[in-house]
Amino acid sequence: MADNLKYIDDLVRNVLEHRMVNSPDQSWETLEKKIPVPGFWQFNLRRFNIYYLSSITAAILILLFILTYIPGNDVTLKYDKNDSGKIALSNTEPGVPANSNINAIAPKDTIGNEKNTVPHDNIAQPEYVNEQQNINEKKNKSLKSNIRKLFKQTNPVSESVQPVSYVLKDFTVQANEQKIEEEKNVQNQLEYFVREKFDIPQLTTLGLNIGNTDFRIAIPDTSRKFNLLFENLELSQQNSRYYAELFFSPLYTYNQLTAKNGSYEELMTERKNLEKPLVSYSVGGNFYYMLTNSVFLQTGLAYSRLGEKFSKGGVMSIDSATVSLADSNTVWFYNIDSFYVGIYDSIPYTYATGTYHTEMNYDSTFKNSVSSINRFSYLEIPIILGYQFNRPRFSYSVKAGIITGFLLNASGKSLSTGDAQTIEDINSNMLFKKPVFSYTFGTGISYQITERFYLTGEAYYRKSFTSIFKEYPLIQKYETYGLRLGIRYGF
Amino acid sequence: MQVDAQLIEACKKRERYAQKVLYETFAPPMRAICLRYARTFSDAEDLLHEGFIKVFANIRQYSGKGSFEGWMKRIFINLSITYFHKKQKQNIFQNIDDVSEISLRHNRTDDEDTEADSGMKSVILNSEFSVEEIQQAMSELPDGYRMVFNLYVFEEHSHKEIGEMLKIKENTSKSQLARARKSMQQKLYDLAIRKMKYSNHDGNNYLKLVI
């Protein structure tokens, strides 16, 4: 029986073995939605992804924190001016933590004892400025009286130490050069005590009184002048931990194109010839968080509008064409390269059953050209780490980070991938990736105009990590040069 | 079917346009395979999509040795077998007593059965069947029959191999194949008879062979 039925095997095999069944409509689109999204959002040891990025970012932040964090303990040093603004804090009593920034200086009853004095080169140098001296004098007078009051209130003056006079001398804004030299050579120990924010709201703690422990601050090389107002200004800058900024940024973006394989070289070349970048713009707001006095984290939201000009011109000569008509009384049209060209109706035609058709023979030439401004709108979120160098009224910064851009809209015209000649509308839904990731770095400057307001300027560079397209035979990356102008507010 | 090595490399990099090209190239033959194994078109389409997702996920394992189409086909067949196991809610390999009713219905002896088969064979071989008709007849087979029939006839596996794949005995595979053939023969014969009836315009309604 089995052998009798073997013919069924042959019959079915012959019919079905090499069968092909075409896909129904939208079959690929249905499948595409089911394909897991690869790449950046998935953990993969062999591919750069968000987990790598997060680990690198976390490592950088931890490293910066370790390098810049100064344990405050009970002593707060807020001068942080490129190694030249620190005031050495001395303590002769036990109990002060070893990691406080201190230099050993002789106890108050042994002032002048050379054994216990500290060479000047071990002591940090304060910054000074030459500006706003008149304003400083008034503030200094107030400061001097407050210090005098404070000193008298909190510490009995020892006969062997006359700190007040030394204090008063060294808070002089425009110190006499000769006096400075004398003081420097004498190696006198200077003492003064300042209580944090005692009637001086902008002044940060320079030293602290712990119980009955005397803290001494050696004012180092006084050949430099220092400006209390400058200190106040700088401290007021450093007191702000949060900043908000509004900005406008003109930018210039051009497309970096690469063909995925040789068959698309023509498309790449044609697009490079036909597309010209335009100056575009970006507007938005940034938010800054000061991790330390110099290191900051920046994020924000921006609307960027990129533009390019697409123009294709050409001359086409047509010798003959066959057209099917809708109505013999209409002007007849036919399609050349997405352009409609009108043909007038003084052309002989013949009737066929059911439809009209005709043949046209002519040697007209048509000039076909299209010019379009292609526009791409993105919503961008930056995550940037920066380091700033603080100066009186100015600060300079360098920064680097990642920007995530979400495509909002794309419009315009481009070349067909089929023949690299036909012009097609840009279809934002099918073509572009959402989101697009870019890296950026830049340098900036800010100028303090009032206590809390700053003018900012920044030059930056930015480039996409990967192609902006999700399904396209060319790899296209944005490369942007920009200038950002803004106004910042410190909270 | 030849495949461009660059296309495979692009698929390994998970480039979407390359995946689309691969799908458009291989979907027609793979869909035909899925239709042989599935009962309905929608089941076949689900099987096809699952198969391609697996192909895209595992394409890096394809070393380049051997036919790419053969490698893909293997994935689809294994998926069909898995699909079959999932769909199985009860032992679908019917007791031989149940299946024999095809013969019993006609109250034929074995010798009479052989003669009947010869008659049906003659009718079937003299008829023309379209691809869709054969496909339809296969779709109407019980799942187990269809699985064994496909693996034996198209994939040319031995009964021992089929037994291992479907987790059945070798003898069960043999008997399932016999029943599948019998069932196909009956369906095709019935179809051929119907076609003969409808193609006779002079109103005479007769059969070429009397069973």
Q: What is the pLDDT of residues A316-338, one digit of tens each?
A: 444 444 444 334 344 444 444 33
pLDDT at B105: 41
Average pLDDT over residues A423-442: 77
Residue B184 pLDDT > 70: yes
Average pLDDT over residues A50-76: 66
* Interchain CB distance below 8 Å, B17 and A12: no
pLDDT averaged over every residue in chain B:
80
CB < 8 Å to B149, chain A: 12
Which of A16-20, A179-183, B60-64 comes out lowest in average pLDDT?
A179-183
Which of A216-230, A236-250, A280-294 comes out lowest in average pLDDT?
A216-230
Average pLDDT over residues A366-388: 81
Q: What is the CATH number of domain B96-199?
A: 1.10.10.10
- b vs e for A94-113, b when ≥16 Cβ sit within 10 Å of the residue's Cβ? eebeeebebbebbbbebbee
pTM: 0.40
Q: Which of B29, B114, B153 sits opposite A9 (nearest CB)?
A: B153
**Of all helices (H) and strands (E), which one includes residue A442?**
strand A436-448
Residue A182 pLDDT class (50, 70, 90 cuts): low
Residue A430 pLDDT > 90: no
Residue B2 pLDDT > 80: no
Residue A441 pLDDT class (50, 70, 90 cuts): very high
CA A407, A411, A413, A418 dihedral sign is: positive
* Interchain CB distance below 8 Å, B131 and A39: no
CA B34, B39, B43, B47 dihedral sign is: negative
- What percentage of residues in chain A have a pLDDT greater than 90? 16
pLDDT averaged over every residue in chain A:
64
Q: Are A441 and A421 in contact (CB under 8 A)?
A: no
Average pLDDT over residues A370-381: 84
pLDDT tens string A141-153 = 666 666 566 555 5
- What ipTM score was computed for the predicted complex, to two decimals? 0.81
Q: Are A247 and A456 in contact (CB under 8 A)?
A: yes
Q: Are A190 and A148 in contact (CB under 8 A)?
A: no
Residue B112 pLDDT class (50, 70, 90 cuts): low
Question: Which residues 96-135 of B have a C-beta within 8 angstroms of A?
Answer: 110, 113-114, 117-118, 121, 124-125, 129, 131, 134-135
Average pLDDT over residues B48-60: 91
Residue A136 pLDDT class (50, 70, 90 cuts): low
Average pLDDT over residues A359-379: 62
pLDDT tens string A201-242 = 333 334 444 444 444 443 433 333 333 333 443 444 445 788
Residue A404 pLDDT class (50, 70, 90 cuts): very high
pLDDT at A37: 64
Residue A424 pLDDT class (50, 70, 90 cuts): confident
Residue A455 pLDDT > 80: yes
**Which has more confidence, A254 or A200?**
A254
Cis peptide before A435 (omega within 30 of 0): yes
pLDDT at A84: 36
Q: What is the CATH number of domain A240-314+370-490?
A: 2.40.160.20
Q: Could you tell me where in chain B the CATH 1.10.1740.10 domains are found?
A: 5-87
Determine the distance in angstroms separating the CA of B91 from the nearest CA of chain A, rounded to an integer: 24
How many angstroms separate the CA atoms of A234 and A202, rounded? 9
* Interchain CB distance below 8 Å, A16 and B36: yes
DSSP H helical ranges for A122-189: 133-154, 163-170, 177-186
Nearest-CA neighbor of B179 among A14, A12, A5, A13?
A5
Contacts 24+ apart (CB under 8 A), B53-58: B53/A31, B53/A34, B53/A35, B53/A36, B54/B79, B55/B22, B56/A35, B56/B11, B56/B14, B56/B19, B57/A36
pLDDT at A419: 66
CB < 8 Å to A260, chain B: 10, 15, 17
Determine the distance in angstroms separating the CA of A427 from the nearest CA of chain B, rounded to an integer: 15
Which of A269-278, A326-335, A473-482, B19-28 comes out lowest in average pLDDT?
A326-335
CB < 8 Å to A24, chain B: 45
Average pLDDT over residues A171-175: 38
Residue B76 pLDDT class (50, 70, 90 cuts): very high
Average pLDDT over residues A419-426: 70
pLDDT at A135: 60
CB < 8 Å to B159, chain A: none
pLDDT at A46: 55
Which of A273-282, A413-422, A448-457, A477-486 comes out lowest in average pLDDT?
A413-422
CA distance readout (Å), B141 to A442, B82, B104, B145: 70, 18, 19, 6
Is the CB of residue A33 less than 8 Å away from at least one CB of chain B?
no
pLDDT at A90: 35
**Which has more confidence, B155 or A411?**
B155
How many angstroms separate the CA atoms of A87 and A76, rounded? 11
Question: Which residues 37-76 of A have a C-beta within 8 angstroms of B?
Answer: 38-39
- Residues whose CB falls within 8 Å of the CB of residue B77, separated by 6 or more in sequence, listed in order: B33, B37, B151, B155
Residue B177 pLDDT > 90: yes
Looking at chain A, which residue has its C-alpha nearest residue B152? Answer: A9
* Interchain CB distance below 8 Å, A19 and B56: no
pLDDT at B206: 41
pLDDT tens string A29-61 = 888 888 876 556 666 665 667 777 788 888 887
Q: What is the CATH number of domain B5-87?
A: 1.10.1740.10
Q: Are A382 and A300 in contact (CB under 8 A)?
A: yes
pLDDT at A88: 36
Residue A168 pLDDT > 70: no
Question: Which residues 135-194 of B have a C-beta within 8 angstroms of A?
Answer: 135, 138, 149, 152-154, 177-178, 181-182, 184-185, 188
Looking at chain B, which residue has its C-alpha nearest residue A431? Answer: B17
Average pLDDT over residues A63-82: 47
CB < 8 Å to B29, chain A: 18-20
